[in-house]
Structure 1
């Protein structure tokens, strides 16, 4: 009887930890694709950034530059609406720069003797 309860608990745990969050992510991605409209700036899964020019049932066309280069993509290739960047927000940058400045003001670390002896031998 206890083993059956443990198995049921394991399946419940797997459902709430793995299956349910994945379904939510897929649903949000589908809503984002369905809510796509002309004029939105998007980023594709390949990192291409452009402005949506037209939308069909399963595809959309973006304009990628001022030269009016147009590229057609499948809707599943949409990553985000808006420009996705790898840069950190300004607040985090300021905190990190303050932390590194405090670390830089201390005395520089000495080079271990092993490193200098190895470079001397290589010469």
Structure 2
């Protein structure tokens, strides 16, 4: 009976762990996956390295971006995109 009561105390700990850590992480992962799947040519992005650029080509998991005044082209992997920058309305 004592083993059952200690097991009963363990269940709420697992439930709290699930709802406070695992579930929010799954939601973030889903959101990121949707964002990466919706990338289009012409989108302005910021990479995880902090590079602000515009997408000029998408091929499978490789994305060619254009950055800077000299329009330097860089090839990055799709997972390296941190966020899509929306143009602000004036």
Q: What TM-score results when the alignment is normalised by the length of structure 1?
A: 0.64
TM-fit CA distance, 1:42? 0.2
- Equivalent pairs, count: 83
Asked whether 1:34 is paired with 2:37, we answer: yes
Asked whether 1:8 is paired with 2:8, we answer: no
- Deviation beyond 3 Å, 4+ runs, structure 1: none
Distance 2:62 2:6 in 1: 50
Greater RCO (CA < 8 Å, at least 6 residues apart): 2
Higher helix share: 1
Counterpart residue number, 2:82 = 79
TM-fit CA distance, 1:59? 1.4
What SS does the corresponding residue of 2:30 show, helix, strand or coil? helix
TM-fit CA distance, 1:4? 1.4
From 67, 70, 79, the equivalent of 1:67 is 70
Distance 1:5 1:37 in 2: 51
Uncovered stretches (5+) of structure 1, i.e. residues with no partner: 84-123
Distance 1:5 1:57 in 2: 49
Distance 2:9 2:65 in 1: 52
- Alignment RMSD: 1.2
Higher strand share: 2
Compare CA radii of gyration and give the structure with the larger one.
1
Q: What TM-score results when the alignment is normalised by the length of structure 2?
A: 0.86
